[in-house]
A and B are shown apart, each in its own frame.
Chain A
Amino acid sequence: MDEWELIAKCQEDEPEAFEQLVKPYLAMAYRTAYLIIHDKHLAQDAVQEGLIEAYQHIDRLDPKRGVAFRNWLYRIITFRALNLVRKQKPVVEYEELIPEEALTPLDNVIQREEQQQIWQAIRSMKAEHRAVIILYYYEGFSVSEIAKITGSFEGTVKSRMHKARKLIAQQLDKDCIPSDFLREGAMTHD
């Protein structure tokens, strides 16, 4: 049964079809929410609330509009995750470095020094920048898809990506790890 058939069944009030529909995306959606929020319980809340919202509004999906279910679901969950971050605490700018002792055991799964610095930079940047980096590099969404998921212009997505990569490069440079981000110039469009 293809996705649109499952969606049609959901629209006919068949809850089993909804479970079948979302199951392939649940693990990645949760991991994405976790990467954005960096809190397991809040990430669980974001996904759980997102599931309820998706179920309530499944009638909005229409094959004529050509919106992929995955993108629609991610849009809902990403919004939830970003809102939870905003409520959680004031935005922490990258310059305010998180001290080493603030690293959680999960952070320690990264053994390589370079990747540790990258993750530290990502978790320290503004949630809007972090979300773009996660959706692009971890989820593999295109810039235009990220623009739709986050409700931004493509130019804004590019600009956030540029800023985020610059922050990562600065973190690497600070630790004397050579980076090619700055050398290559990259994007300036917004």
Chain B
Amino acid sequence: MTNEERQIREALTKVAEAVEIPEFQMPGKDSSSQVARLPFFRQKKWKSIAIASAVVVTLLTSMQVSPSFAAYVQSIFEQYGGGLQQAARQGFSESPNLSVTDQGLTLEVKEVIADPVQVTAALVIKQSDGKVLNSELLLGENSHLNEIELLDGNGEVMSSGWGASFDKTVGFIGFTLGRKEQEPIPKTLSIHFKEIGGTKGSWKLQVPITMAKTAAATTELPVNQTHTTKQGLKLTVHKLINTPTTTRIQLETQWTDSAKKQIEQEARKLAGKTAAPDYAPFVPYQQYSLTYHYEAADGSKREAEKLEFANSIDRYGHFRWIWDYDPLEKGKPVTLVIDSLYRAEPYDMSVTFNPAELSK
């Protein structure tokens, strides 16, 4: 963590802790704020009512793979850029052309790209005259109540942790895959919007996910190489995965025992000098990051990237990193170079002075 990042944390903490906490009424408890709990259909029941739903689901065409150079030019993922754009250009997007209409609004799933590290669908909203509406209408006041889930082959929910990105005409919703040890292959993207642009209704779609083609185009390079830096950080690069949309680096870092002894000394120096006293002993262990770049055979380098976000295995700086970025070009060998380690070190910035001397 840089000095500025520490300052951000401290500034936010100071402002936040200066505000008094008001009283809140507990729903259901205080007679003045009686609130009824709403019924909720659990997954199995939900599936059965989905089939019997009155909402019209129109399957316009069967699933197909964008087949040609001409097709990619029209891909909706052209607007998204990055790895999704590259994948679409190579014909890895599918056009399910599924749509559902309710309350005069039609929700269409225009294209889907699914590979072993992500599933992303492009959605469009149209009004009854066919006019395409701003996709941000999907992000209304109650949008967090919408149910967007990835289902496995048994119809069980394997993930509901979706993310979204909206531009004027297209909403992209997606899931990241492969972050868990044992993860089933997704088979269906289940979408149920309950509100679009303030209009309450029900827009349900079941989008089949196929990734045979992208899985075949995915390469996994087991690395399993370990290097210990002179600062005592042990890096183990587990593997690289290159999918049509992404190049993923998986590595693990931890301090050696001798480095930990050194860091323990540094941690003592930080006691009482951080905004969060309980965190002080762990700062020197955890506050580090790495940068990497790729080098081609001709010596050219891709722009350096910083690995900044890791999952903690313990509080002593043992991290697991899964880092996704735009895919490497196929057929062009490159070398992954982890070139820098940034780490926080305590620095004595104290100043000693005699106030009486200052007035002289």
Q: Are A189 and B325 in contact (CB under 8 A)?
A: yes
Whole-angstrom distance from the CB of A30 to the nearest CB of chain B?
6
Within the assembled complex, what's the spacing in Å between the Cα atoms of A12 and B172? 37
Residues of A1-48 contacting chain B, CB below 8 A: 13, 15-16, 18-19, 22, 26-27, 30-32, 34-35, 40, 44, 47-48
Asked if B19 and A138 make an inter-chain contact with CB atoms under 8 angstroms apart, the answer reads no
B354 CB to closest chain A CB (Å) equals 23
Q: Which of A79, A106, A110, A188 contacts B143 (CB 8 A)?
A: A79
- A56-B27, A58-B37, A148-B161 known; A115 vs B21 contact (CB < 8 Å): no
Asked if A19 contacts B143 (CB within 8 A), the reply is no
For chain B, residues 28 to 45, give those with C-beta under 8 angstroms from any C-beta of chain A.
28-29, 33, 35-40, 42-43
Contact between chains at B305 and A188 (CB < 8 Å): yes
Does B10 reach chain A (CB closer than 8 Å)? Answer: yes
Contact in complex: B16, A154 (CB < 8 Å)? no
Contact pattern, B 202-239, Cβ under 8 Å of A = 1, otherwise 0: 00000000000000000000000000000000000000
Task: Give bound CA distance, A169 to B8, whole Å.
Answer: 11
Q: Is B303 in contact with A152, judged by CB distance below 8 angstroms?
A: no
Check B12 against A187 for contact (C-beta < 8 Å): no
Which residues of chain B are within 8 angstroms of A13 by Cβ–Cβ distance?
28, 37
Contacts of A138 in B (CB 8 A): 9, 12-13, 16
For residue A108, give the distance in angstroms from its CB to the closest CB of chain B: 9
A109→B141 CA distance, assembly (Å): 33
User: Given A18-B28, A55-B28, A147-B163, is A118 in contact with B7 using a C-beta cutoff of 8 Å?
Assistant: yes
**Which one, B58-66, B253-261, B306-314, is touching chain A?**
B306-314
C-alpha spacing A55/B30, complex, angstroms? 13
Number of A-B contacts (CB under 8 A): 178
Query: A44 touching B27 by the CB < 8 A rule?
Result: no
Residues on A facing B (Cβ under 8 Å): 13, 15-16, 18-19, 22, 26-27, 30-32, 34-35, 40, 44, 47-48, 51-52, 55-60, 62, 64-65, 67, 75-76, 79, 83, 106-107, 109-110, 112, 114-116, 118-119, 122, 133-134, 137-138, 142-144, 147-148, 151-156, 158, 165, 168-169, 172, 179-181, 184-190
**Using Cβ atoms and an 8 Å threshold, which residues of chain A touch B139?**
151
In the assembled complex, how far is the CB of residue B27 from the closest CB belonging to chain A, in whole angstroms? 4
Given contacts A18-B29, A31-B19, A55-B35, contact A47 B24 (CB under 8 A): yes
**Least Cβ–Cβ distance between A85 and chain B, in angstroms:** 12
Question: Which residues does chain A contribute within 8 Å of B42, judged by CB atoms?
Answer: 62
Q: Assess whether B11 is interfacial by the CB under 8 Å rule.
A: yes
Residue among B9, B11, B305 facing the most chain A CB atoms (10 A cut-off) = B11
Output the least CB separation between B87 and chain A (Å): 14
Q: How many residues of B contact A (CB 8 A)?
A: 61
Determine whether the beta carbon of B303 is less than 8 Å from that of A188. Answer: yes
Given contacts A59-B39, A138-B16, A151-B144, contact A187 B11 (CB under 8 A): no
* 14 further A-B pairs in the complex, CB-CB below 8 A; given A48-B25, A109-B15, A168-B8: A26-B21, A27-B21, A32-B16, A35-B16, A44-B22, A51-B27, A52-B27, A107-B15, A133-B8, A151-B163, A155-B165, A180-B2, A187-B308, A189-B325
**Pair B176/A154 contact, Cβ less than 8 Å:** yes
Residues of B within 8 A of A (CB): 2-5, 7-19, 21-22, 24-29, 33, 35-40, 42-43, 82, 139, 141, 143-145, 157, 160-165, 172, 174, 176, 179, 303-306, 308-309, 311, 324-325, 342
CA–CA, A30 to B20, complex, Å? Answer: 9
Q: Which residues of A contact B304 (CB under 8 A)?
A: 185
Cross-chain contact A31 with B16 (CB below 8 angstroms): yes
A22 to B26, CA, bound (A): 9
Which residue of the partner chain B has the closest CB to A179?
B4
A51 to chain B minimum Cβ distance, whole angstroms, is: 6
Measured CA separation A12–B174 after assembly (Å): 34
Q: How far is the CB of A112 from chain B (nearest CB, A)?
A: 8
Is A35 a contact partner of B12 (Cβ separation < 8 A)? yes
Inter-chain CA distance A83–B16, complex, in Å, is 20
Counting chain A CB atoms within 10 Å of each CB, the highest count among B16, B39, B172 belongs to B16
Q: Which residues of B contact A16 (CB under 8 A)?
A: 29
Report 21 cross-chain contacts, Cβ distance below 8 Å, ordered by A residue.
Answer: A18-B27, A18-B28, A19-B29, A22-B26, A26-B24, A27-B21, A31-B21, A52-B35, A56-B35, A57-B40, A59-B38, A65-B157, A67-B160, A109-B15, A137-B12, A153-B172, A156-B163, A184-B306, A185-B304, A185-B306, A186-B306
